[in-house]
Every structure is written in structure tokens, then in C-alpha cells.
Amino acid sequence: MFDLFGPRKRTVATVGLPGHGKTVFLASLFWDSFFSLAETLKNGREHFAVRAVNPKADEVFYGNAKTLHELRLPPANPRSGDPQPAILEFMGVPCPRNGKRSRVWLTFYDVAGEVFNSDETARAEARYLQQVDDIIFLFDPTQPDFSALSAARLVDRIYRVVPGSEGKQYIIALAKMDELRVQDEWVDTIGDYWPGHPPHAYSLGEYLAEMESLSERFREWWSFPERQAHSLLATLPPRTRFCGVSSLGHQPDVDQDGRLKLKKKPEPFRVRDPLFWIFRAAKVM
């Protein structure tokens, strides 16, 4: 049964440090929705699907999916003084509680990580942050500039330049779980879930319960003494969600020209979790 009152609408921003993988993450999120969830969330005559609503979404999501299909990485998002929204419609979003299917329009904003290097550039080039409902902070722990200090600094910057941001949903996502999962501190957290499988309509409730459990585990990871992230955790909104993702499922190779190239088609790991947290905040899942 579909929602008869039109789609729910939310606006989403991805925020991260330069080179931490926001563009690849969004490409992988679309890939996972288009190929995996469209298959597993189908139930009889009820379907799950995603489509591009505006030209920017066609350019960004279909264009980058084509690049991934060719075993190449999408280019980094260019810096632009006037970022354009990319709107996706998700149809047949299932609710495990009542079986209802809903439509959701998500308006995505993604700008170059350099925009968030200062308050001035963030205010000038990320004015859309005023109107977003959800902010996905994406951090790559394998990058040399990653630390609790750099993460807290970015979160504080958003707090300063976006009045009322504490009322928005924060999603703190750690990338590169494919690389980190073999390290001692991650084995117990990720080992139980790797490589993971997309949920079916009948198992969606179990998957959402796993999301809750993983959110607590990742929150605990930030609280480890070696992270020194207690101040960061104390300043986050109470309903902040945590998750870990792998946009590709494996590490790319370097070809003879020094360019990164995929070894095989992407096999994303839990890139849908931030999407599902947004669906839950929209009260459709």
C-alpha cells in the first residue's frame, strides 16, 4: 500500500574533510539503492525504486554510477560558489511495523571538502546548510588528518555557521570498513556483519535493530580512551546516530598511469544505513 498524500521531503547535506570520500559514498548509496535494494525490498507487487528527479541528480547519481560500472572512481566534487541540489525520489520505502509503502524525496547537497576549511567559506559556499534536515559527517580513519580533534573542529564549525544545527539529525559515519575490519579493534564490531547482505522486506525489522546496535558500538568506539573524543561526544545532539560504511567493499588498485581503478564492481557495505536513518527520521521506516 502506497502513501496517498504525496512524498515526504527532506534535505540532506554531506560534510567531510577533503579526500575523505563523500563523492564515492553518495555514488555508492545510489548504486546500492538502484541495484541491491530494488531487488531485495520487492515484495510481490510492491516495489522499491529510486529515480533522479532533476537534471543535477541525473548528472551526479547516474553519471557516477556509470563511472563505477566502468570500474573507475568518480572525480572529486568540484568547488562551486553556487552548489545545485540533486533530488532523488525513493518509491516504495517499506515500514516494517505496518507494511505501508511510502515515497520520499531527498534533496542532496554535496560540496568540495575545502569549503569547510574556514567559517568564511562555509558561510559563503554552503548556505544551503540552513535548510537541511540531516547532516551526514563522513570521516575516513585511514587518512592522516583524521583525529577526534579534526572531527570535533568540523562539527564545531557547522555549529557556528548554522544557527539551530543542534535541532538537525546528525549522522556520524566512518568510512573504509573494508580496510579497517581486519584490525584488532574492529574485528568484533565488524566481523559479525561483514560482508553483509541487503535486507529483504520481511527481514527489515531485524536489519533496523542491527543498525541500533551498531550505532551504540560506534559511539563506544569514539569513547575509547585512545580516541580522546569525550568532548566531541558531549557536544553532539542527543539523537546523533553513528555508523560505519565501505563505499566499494574493497581497496582500489593503481593502474599504470597512476590512477585508481576498481578491481571489480562495487560491493558496498552498509552504505544504506545513513539512508535508513533518514527514512526513520521521516517516519516512513
pLDDT digits (tens, 9 = 90+) for 241-259: 999 999 999 988 887 777 7
Q: List pLDDT tens digits, range 54-108.
A: 999 999 999 999 999 999 999 888 787 789 999 999 999 999 999 899 999 999 9
Is the pLDDT reported for residue 194 higher than 90? no
Residue 195 preceded by cis peptide, ω within 30: yes
- Can you read off the three cell numbers belonging to residue 36? 541491491
Is the pLDDT reported for residue 3 higher than 80? no
Residues sharing a CB contact under 8 Å with residue 147, sequence separation 6 or more, in sequence order = none
Task: Give mean pLDDT, residues 185-207.
Answer: 87
Three-state DSSP at 104 gives strand
Q: Where are the alpha helices (DSSP H) in 110-203?
A: 119-125, 148-161, 177-180, 184-191
Is residue 154 within 8 Å of residue 189, measured between CB atoms?
no
- Can you read off the three cell numbers belonging to residue 70? 566502468
Is the pLDDT reported for residue 130 higher than 90? yes
Is residue 204 within 8 Å of residue 96, measured between CB atoms?
yes
Q: Where are the alpha helices (DSSP H) in 164-203?
A: 177-180, 184-191
Q: Which of 178-187, 203-212, 260-269 has the lowest mean pLDDT?
A: 178-187
Is residue 92 within 8 Å of residue 41, measured between CB atoms?
yes
Task: Give mean pLDDT, residues 186-198.
Answer: 82
- Can you read off the three cell numbers belonging to residue 127? 548556505
Rounded to two decimals, the pTM is 0.94
* Rounded Cα distance, 250 and 241, in Å: 25
